[in-house]
Amino acid sequence: MTDNRKNAIVLIGVVILLCASGSFLFFARSEPDIFTPGTVRSTPAVDGESTPQPSDDPEDKYGIDLELRDGKPQPQEPEGLPLATGEPRSLEEINLILARLPDLAANPDEQTDFNFPVELLPAPRP
């Protein structure tokens, strides 16, 4: 096969694939029972107590109307739980707790001397 013939076959295959996918998308979106995101417009909700009305005031440049109503009482402060009273442990109880802990093995390879900085900073001024 020549290169021109191969290129033509590939081009025809791509065109057929694009046509098939385009027709699938067109028919899939045109079905009336399927919800397609992005095609629904939101409508502001009105709670029934008041309906927004247009303003007749010529100074109202933006046409925003506000209606104030009586406020609702604030919720009461929650009652806090009483604090628990702490009792100190006896020396025997402390020793029993510490006896359950495993011994901390000191590895001399992991110990180093304190590293002082090369330059010591002067004492702070009062």
pLDDT of 41 > 80? The answer is no
The better pLDDT of the pair 37, 123 is held by 123
Residue 9 lies in a domain: yes
CA atoms within 13 A on the CB side of 63: 3
Residue 18 lies in a domain: yes
Domain of residue 14, residue span: 1-28
Residue 120 lies in a domain: no
Percentages of the chain per state (helix, strand, coil), in multiples of 5: 30, 0, 70
Looking at the structure of the chain, the number of domains it has is: 1
Residue 6 lies in a domain: yes
pLDDT of 12 > 90? The answer is yes
Residue 23 lies in a domain: yes
Question: pTM of this prediction?
Answer: 0.25
Residue 11 lies in a domain: yes
Residue 54 lies in a domain: no
